[in-house]
Amino acid sequence: MFNILIVDDEEKITQVIKAYLDKEGYNCKVANTGIDAINYFRENEFDLIILDRMLPDISGEEICEIIRKESMVHIIMLTAKTEDEDVIDGFNIGCDDYVCKPFNVKELVLRAKAVFRKLDVENKDILKFSDELEINTLSHQVKVRGEKVYLTNTEYKILLTLAKNPKKIFDRERLLELTVEEYYEKMDRIIDAHIKNLRQKIELDTKKPKIIQTLYGVGYKFGL
């Protein structure tokens, strides 16, 4: 289920938008002030933000700039301003789409669906294991418990190899063969050093690892 944040100071507008999107099966949260919008954004994970440009406390532009410093979530801006320069300014600060007021709610729903179709395609390139681990196989970005971690190329290959084969046990030599270029058979213990460094970046407790588990005398396996 996709999560949507609807931000507009006019409660009637937010309730109408919410009703239509709820009917489509989306999970919607409403904010009627800029402060609430920022707080909800930081406390939750949204797939789409529908953001009014004119808010009484913080402008939509300012909110968009704040969000863009922390996230690339898709933003559809609602605006009564229709001048080309206003629209261009909106795109420059980071919004992804514009809907001009007054608008047809059905059109807004169709635009939301288009966003989610794109996300569905992108998600095929993402391996996700509950809230513990997320691997984007296109960008090679890795998130652990929601936070980005930076891995070396070898660490990334080891993690990806294990994650793609969660039921398989790999001995050191096989992991070296799959993940380290120009490896040497007599140096199979080098994989232990890579895994030690990897665990320091992804495990809560390196003495009791959950993500990469050791089977003593055999090798390693994925634990999630």
- Percent of the chain surpassing pLDDT 70: 88
- Asked which of 100, 123, 146 is the last residue of a domain, the reply is 123
- Domain limit, last residue, from 83, 107, 123: 123
If asked whether residues 17 and 116 sit together in one domain, one would say yes
Residues 94 and 137 both lie in one domain = no
Q: Which residues pair with 148 in a beta bridge?
A: 143
Question: Total structural domains in the chain?
Answer: 2
What does residue 189 show for φ and ψ, rounded to 5 degrees? -70, -10
pLDDT attached to residue 13: 93
Residue 92 shares a structural domain with residue 202: no
Beta bridge partners of 162: none
The residue out of 57, 88, 123 marking a domain boundary is 123
CATH code at 20?
3.40.50.2300
Q: How far apart are CA 205 and CA 224, in angstroms?
A: 15
Within this chain, do residues 48 and 159 fall inside the same structural domain, yes or no? no
pLDDT of 31: 95
Q: Is residue 87 pLDDT above 70, yes or no?
A: no
Q: Does 110 share its domain with 21?
A: yes
The pTM of the whole model exceeds 0.85 = no
Q: β-strands 97-100, 74-79: how paired?
A: parallel
What is the structure's pLDDT at 86? 59
The answer on 80 and 114 residing in a single domain is yes
What pLDDT was estimated at residue 186? 44
> Do 145 and 44 reside in the same domain of the chain?
no
Mean pLDDT of 42-64: 90
141 and 110 in a single domain? The answer is: no
Using the Cα atoms of residue 45, residue 151, residue 203 and residue 157 in order, give the sign of their dihedral. positive
Percent of the chain with pLDDT over 90: 28
Top pLDDT among 138 and 27 is at: 27
**Domain identity same for 27 and 109:** yes
152 and 109 together in one domain:
no
Helical axes 190-202 vs 153-164, angle rounded to 10°: 80
**Shared-domain flag, residues 52 and 133:** no
Query: Cα(44)–Cα(53) distance, rounded to whole angstroms?
Result: 21
Res 131 pLDDT > 90: no
- Three-state SS string over the chain comes to CCEEEEECCCHHHHHHHHHHHHHCCCEEEEECCHHHHHHHHHHCCCCEEEEECCCCCCCHHHHHHHHHCCCCCEEEEEECCCCHHHHHHHHHHCCCEEEECCCCHHHHHHHHHHHHHHHHHHHCCEEEECCCEEEECCCCCEEECCEEECCCHHHHHHHHHHHHCCCCCECHHHHHHHHCCCCCHHHCCHHHHHHHHHHHHHCCCCCCCCCEEEECCCEEEECC
The pLDDT of residue 188 is 59
Which tops the pLDDT comparison, 18 or 98?
18
Domain of 143, CATH number, reads: 1.10.10.10
Which tokens in the block code for residue 98? 């514009």
Residues 111 and 177 in one domain: no
130 pLDDT more than 90: no
Domain, as residue range, for 52: 3-123
On the question of pLDDT at 94 being above 70, the answer is: yes
For the stretch 166-197, pLDDT in tens is: 888 888 888 887 777 655 544 557 788 888 88
d(CA 166, CA 223): 7
pLDDT digits (tens, 9 = 90+) for 139-167: 788 888 888 888 888 888 889 888 888 88
